Amino acid sequence: EPEVTQTPSHQVTQMGQEVILRCVPISNHLYFYWYRQILGQKVEFLVSFYNNEISEKSEIFDDQFSVERPDGSNFTLKIRSTKLEDSAMYFCASRAGGRTDTQYFGPGTRLTVL
């Protein structure tokens, strides 16, 4: 069964450093999402991406964040200058398209900012 994959599973970085989290969505899916989950809190929407541009972003997704689909398979989330409060699980999700289909999530990347 096709699945969303994410790398790395765990990333440790120093405050102020740049990180890139990578996702490979399901191959025929057209819509891509990033969510995050701070430990003990809700899963929160960050950004949606379609046709090589951002469709919508939350207020969390400030200028420190960017997304890119550099080739036909990868979808990346970059945090330019990490802060302690960026420590969270980051989930990538993808959706095929159409009115009633659903999002499938990857296993997540645990980001720890020291």
The amino acid at residue 78 is K
- From 29, 88, 40, select the one nearest 60 (Cα to Cα): 88
> Which of 92, 113 has the CB closer to another protein?
92
- From 36, 29, 53, select the one nearest 110 (Cα to Cα): 36
Q: What angle do CA 80, 29, 2 make, to 5 degrees?
A: 100
Stretch that binds another protein, among 14-22, 42-50, 68-76, 78-86 (CB under 8 A): 42-50
> Which of 18, 34 has the CB closer to another protein?
34
By CB under 8 A, is residue 13 in contact with another protein? no
Distance between CA 97 and CA 44 in Å, rounded? 21
> Which of 31, 75 has the CB closer to another protein?
31
The amino acid at residue 42 is K
Residue among 21, 25, 29, 31 that touches another protein (CB under 8 A): 31
Residues engaged in binding another protein (CB under 8 A): 4, 6, 31, 33, 35, 41-45, 48, 56, 58, 89, 91, 95, 99-100, 102-108, 110
